[in-house]
Amino acid sequence: MPRITPADELHLIESIVAEHPGGIGIAEIEEDMAQRQGGALNRRTLQRRLLKLIDAKRIASEGQSIALVYKPVAQTWAQLAGGGGGRGVMAPVGVAEAEPDLPVSPAGASIRDRVRQPLMHRRPVGYRREFLEAYQPGVTFYLPAALRSQLHEMGRTPANERPAGTYARDILSRLLVDLSWASSRLEGNTYSHLDTQNLIEHGQAAQGKDAIETQMILNHKAAIEMLIENMDEEMDEELDEEMDEVGFDAFTFKNLHAVLSQDLMRDPQASGRLRRRLVEISGTVFHPVAMPQVIEDCFELLLGKAAAIPDPFEQAFFLMVQLPYLQPFEDVNKRVSRIAANMPLIQRQLCPLSFIDVPERAYIEGTLGVYELNEVDLLRDVFVWAYERSCQRYLAITQTMVEPNPLKIKCREALIQAVQTVVKGLQAPSPEVLENAVVHMPVPAADHAALTRMLAEALQQLHEGSVARYRLRRSEYLAWQLACSGEGGSSL
């Protein structure tokens, strides 16, 4: 079974209270939860969850002491937002009650109304393999031609004529923070954007946060770096031809899952492996496929179809639709789909999709439309809104960026290797060390002096928040820093 997160517990408690308009005591909630999730929740933890729901005005309390009961609020968040009053998808804790709905199409609005109905009014459904099989790459399109053209126009970047992944590297520091924070927030993570930035750039975990939340963000950072690093490897002509590259294949997606799920799975052996057991998803009437052989067959079919799709935006959205629907892994499926959706965009030098400012509720309802109805219109509305938002953000960022040095682009790989030589060798950046690190690099002799200056500058500016740029581990950087400070003659 996937790990039950605090957000899952909050949704479950809220749904139990919603089933008792006259009120329900804490003992009855405790007993009901034990039956539904196979084990009782600690009483103090349950009390904290109830207080959090009350503070968020998702439930109400009445009475005192042994007469205290919990009731659904008079107006649900869905009703305040103009929905149908259903409690199938509840407002996430920490989201303002008056948060407006995203603008959606008439078809999207119809889906939204249906998935907002109470669970008891929604028909239970299972996985439909024909939904995947009916999709024909290059023939079937979830995104109409006019919309694809619009997305290409929005996503065009200044790096279109430069090597794959160049634009993503240009904005890497912002992308690491934005995508790690936004994707984690869609899973109920309570880190703020500033908390996330401090964690990623300075290694400072936020006080008072669950260690699971910290790990989730660090896993996102590692997964994004993995994708961009593999773009670097694809353009390295001297790379061993047998080395695996990022692509729409099982190797890439299993490893992506392994990175995103590290230390978050109840069964560590399930990390990076296809699911072999039944899973259930809270807040929906959808029941994922249970047979391992069907999961494996559909996973291969899904990746084969994704690889054959000619348009990068269609590829990205196809993954967001089909991967969570299949639930090929025991947990972390939506996270894999969000990071993987950026693969074709990064490869084509298009603006990445960070999911910045996407309301959790809108994303969940779009996903439920796929799960329960096999209809993509609402999720497509969310996808397009999210991409436009990302483009606006990164366009503003790139307008303030300094035009890259052509020599830095030309010697980028040599500079990375030279930095690694000095740092991993625990060498102080003396003139002799810098010259020796550059002399054996595969660049013209005429560029050696310039590369030496770039190396000196890179080492001078190197810090914990930038080590990933040079494919270094934090431990390697700290060991180098300690060794250099011990020698006393270097200036870092």
Tens of pLDDT, residue by residue over 276-290, are 999 989 889 999 999
User: Which long-range CB contacts under 8 A does 476-481 form with residues at least 24 apart?
Assistant: 476/423, 476/424, 477/423, 479/426, 480/422, 480/423, 480/424, 480/426, 480/427
More confident residue, 140 or 18: 140
∠ CA 7-13-14 to the nearest 5 degrees? 90
Contact, 193 vs 127, CB < 8 A?
Answer: no
Q: Which amino acid is at 109?
A: A
Inter-axis angle of helices 211-234 and 193-202, to 10 degrees? 60
**Start-to-end C-alpha separation, the chain:** 49
Domain ranges in the chain? 6-74, 110-399, 406-487
Over residues 204-213, the mean pLDDT reads 91
| Residue 233 clears pLDDT 60, i.e. is over it | no
Q: How confident is the model at residue 3 (pLDDT cuts 50, 70, 90)?
A: low
Q: Which amino acid is at 448?
A: H
Cα→Cα distances 233→76, 228, 359, 416, Å = 51, 9, 35, 12
Contact, 314 vs 148, CB < 8 A?
Answer: yes
pLDDT digits (tens, 9 = 90+) for 299-321: 999 999 999 999 999 999 999 99
Rounded Cα–Cα distance for residues 366 and 368 (Å): 5
Element (H, E) at 146: helix 145-155
Q: Where are the alpha helices (DSSP H) in 291-376?
A: 292-308, 312-326, 333-340, 343-347, 360-373
**What top-level class would CATH report for the domain 110-399?**
mainly alpha
Element (H, E) at 10: helix 6-18
Cα→Cα distances 444→207, 431, 440, 452, Å = 50, 20, 10, 13
Rounded Cα–Cα distance for residues 195 and 210 (Å): 13
pLDDT digits (tens, 9 = 90+) for 241-259: 333 445 789 999 999 999 9
Q: Report the half-sphere exposure of 350 (CA within 13 A, side-chain side).
A: 26
| Residue 2 clears pLDDT 60, i.e. is over it | no
In the chain, the percentage of residues whose pLDDT exceeds 70 is 82
Query: Topology of domain 6-74, per CATH?
Result: Arc Repressor Mutant, subunit A (1.10.10)
Quickly list DSSP for 69-128. EEEE-SS-HHHHTTS-S--SSPPPTTS-TTPPPPP--HHHHHHHHHHTS-GGGS--EE--
Rounded Cα–Cα distance for residues 139 and 9 (Å): 42
Length of the chain: 492
Instruction: Judge residue 312's burial from the number of C-beta atoms within 10 Å of its C-beta, 0-12 exposed, 13-18 middle, 19 or more buried.
Output: buried
| Residue 14 clears pLDDT 60, i.e. is over it | yes
Quickly list DSSP for 352-391. P---TT--HHHHHHHHHHHHHH---HHHHHHHHHHHHHHH
Q: How confident is the model at residue 389 (pLDDT cuts 50, 70, 90)?
A: very high
pLDDT at 298: 98
DSSP 397: H
Over residues 256-270, the mean pLDDT reads 92
| Residue 401 clears pLDDT 60, i.e. is over it | no
Give the bridge partners for 126, in sequence order. 287
